[in-house]
Amino acid sequence: MTDAATLPLWLGANFWSRAGGPRMWTDRYDPAVVRDELAVLAAHGLTVTRSFFFWPDFQPEPDRLDEDCVARFADFLDAHVQAGMTTIPTFIVGHMSGENWDPTWRDGRDLYRDVWFVARQAWYVRELTARFHRHPAVAGWLLSNEVPIYGGEAPHDAVAAWAQILVDAIRAVGSTLPVSTGDGAWGIETTGHDSGFRLRELAPLSQFVGPHVYRMEADVIRQHLKAAWVAQLCGIAGLPVVLEEFGVTDAYVSAANAAVYYRQQLHNTLVAGVRGWIAWNNTDFDDLVAERPYSHHPFEMHFGITDATGAPKPALKELELFAADLAAMDAAGLRRAPADTALVIPSHLAEGYPFSRESEREHIVAVGEQAYAATREAHLPVTVERESADGGVAPGYRLYLLPSVKQLCGPTWRQLVTLTDDGAVVYASYCAGEAPAQRGPWWAFTEELFGVTVGTSYGLVEPIEDDVVTIEMTAGLGALRAGDRLRFRASGTPDARAYLPVDVTAGDVLAVDGHGRPALVGRRHGAGYAVLCTYPLEYLAARCARVNPEDTWRLYDALAALAGADRPLTVEDPRVFADTVAHADGRRFAVFASQHPDAADVTPVVASGALHHLDGTPDPVVALGPYGTAVREIR
């Protein structure tokens, strides 16, 4: 297993030459064009490509490689050395940009479970590794490209066995380079859908996790944080995370908005701990408009960071600026700054408990993502902590956030009482969940933890009547004072758009809703405190379009103050994200990402030290352009 300290820091692009696209390894291969393409990438600070052995061309027969393709790939590697770059080759490439291609001899065989066919794949992987693993341009290996789309989904044990056989083929010829699967990290731990590619089961075979992030949103801030949130979920494997594919097509966005997308994804994933960024992709393919897959997926032609003539596009300029920041920070030595706030992910997402539903797992991902957005708006560094399979969460945090939670294991609820006794602040918001069966909170020890009894009727939920939920504070909580009001747009399905009626026993009412009912209830436990929200605030926002920032960040800000949670860098404006990364040599850096469509100047509050430009000049006021980003050193 590889840790972040030993994996190289990668910044680059997925690569097909504009002279051929996926068929570039045939006689269409043009060494001069390839070298021009690599030179443009290198001139803009990129250091790596992800490359592809197009399977139908490289293995035309079960026991034969195409030597012409192999020779062209060898020249491709030499071109990388000449450009001062490296590449990560990908073996099983049968899917690309909206089409699947089989080797002519596959004959419908199962990719994972047909013994003969898996053996042919292993031979292919072993032979190519033997040819190239000593070449200085090869930086690592990927087994596949989005293979759940190509080979289909399969039982997780079959997938793990298939991956083991192919990795063993790589290792059999002596390669010690980093390996990952290339499946896109689209499994149960990140989406709630079990494709068979489980991160934890593949982790012992892998040296990094490589999510492919193209998800679309209804909210600007959630879109800008999408890759960062996926990266947080990928942390379950304990491996470095490389953003293996991300990007936008000109068919969907303007050039200016493409630059915004790159700028936001790069900087927001940096503070999320990502160790590599490989854009999709290096070039446009206008000259291939009549060829598949571009003939039927024409939007796929224009994901390039250069156009079809090789000229840089604004997205490449953003990568160049980011490369300069990485170099100034000596980014290979960066680590995520520690956090003492935990955003808790129920184990029901990844464990596949009996009779669990995919919709319930998707709910966990959606409300967790919305809560993550609220923590960024509150400038509250968090660690995504997963509940263990048998119950329990990691101790040692000052603040635990359980957003719109329907399901936790019984022992975890008991542990939360102990954590508050030991001085932690625990916050949980109610949610009945969107599944009509067993609808309601799967909670235990509710009265012991929060000092309330539940007033619901069996089989029924209490609907939220208001289009806007108003919560008025009746007592102080952090920066919130009695009389302050928080407002939340209501949305969601009839099953989940519901509040929790409670009778307060040993708790204290901290806030009421617009009908005078308890909305926030707190209970003191020794040195700690438990706070219950009777409304699913994070769920309501997760089901709204263009909602952020919404007032959940104000509640999280108050909870952080109550808990004494560490926030090394804050800004008054929730539309300007501010977080820190730390270098192994002790230096600290601040990373800002504005969510304003117009320019904004902010004066951050630094808990210790002062802000300086990377060249050393003081900079107490950070000027940010529209959706702008900035990196500063804290000295």
Residue 367 vs residues 193, 273, 586: alpha-carbon distances, Å: 16, 21, 35
On whether both 552 and 573 belong to a single domain, the answer is: no
Say which residues have a Cβ less than 8 Å from residue 314's Cβ, sequence separation at least 6: 255, 256, 258, 259
Q: What is the pLDDT of residue 1?
A: 38
Q: Please calculate the CA angle 610-611-617 and round it to the nearest 5 degrees.
A: 110
On whether both 345 and 304 belong to a single domain, the answer is: no
Question: To the nearest whole percent, how much of the chain has pLDDT over 70?
Answer: 99
Tokens of 488: 């939340």
On whether both 588 and 534 belong to a single domain, the answer is: no
pLDDT tens, 301-352? 999 999 999 999 999 999 999 999 999 999 999 998 889 999 999 999 999 8
On whether both 164 and 238 belong to a single domain, the answer is: yes
Mark which of 330, 351, 378 sits at the end of a domain: 330
Residue 49 belongs to a domain? yes
Domain around 143 = 10-330
On whether both 405 and 308 belong to a single domain, the answer is: no
pLDDT at 466 over 70: yes
Nearest CA to 175 out of 133, 144, 120, 135 is that of 133
pLDDT at 592 over 50: yes
On whether both 461 and 535 belong to a single domain, the answer is: yes
Mark which of 267, 295, 330 sits at the end of a domain: 330
Residue 96, judged by CB atoms within 10 A of its CB (0-12, 13-18, 19+), counts as: buried
On whether both 222 and 298 belong to a single domain, the answer is: yes
On whether both 587 and 451 belong to a single domain, the answer is: no
pLDDT tens, 475-521? 999 999 999 999 999 999 999 999 999 999 999 999 999 999 999 99
Residue 452 belongs to a domain? yes
* Separation of alpha carbons 564 and 580, rounded Å: 18
pTM: 0.96
On whether both 307 and 418 belong to a single domain, the answer is: no
pLDDT at 5 over 80: no
* Separation of alpha carbons 336 and 273, rounded Å: 5
Mark which of 301, 330, 359 sits at the end of a domain: 330
What string of DSSP letters covers 216-253? Answer: --SSHHHHHTHHHHHHHHHGGG-S-BEE-EE---TTTS
User: Which CATH number goes with the domain that contains 625?
Assistant: 2.60.40
* Separation of alpha carbons 237 and 211, rounded Å: 12
pLDDT at 237 over 90: no
pLDDT at 116 over 90: yes
Residue 347 belongs to a domain? yes
Question: To the nearest whole percent, how much of the chain has pLDDT over 90?
Answer: 95
Average pLDDT over residues 596-601: 97
On whether both 35 and 64 belong to a single domain, the answer is: yes
User: Which CATH number goes with the domain that contains 16?
Assistant: 3.20.20.80
On whether both 557 and 579 belong to a single domain, the answer is: no
* Separation of alpha carbons 543 and 497, rounded Å: 10
* Structural domains counted in the chain: 3
* Separation of alpha carbons 497 and 37, rounded Å: 52
Average pLDDT over residues 172-184: 97
Residue 211 belongs to a domain? yes
Q: What is the pLDDT of residue 60?
A: 98
pLDDT at 421 over 80: yes
CB 511 within 8 A of CB 472: yes
On whether both 48 and 64 belong to a single domain, the answer is: yes
User: Which CATH number goes with the domain that contains 527?
Assistant: 3.40.50.880
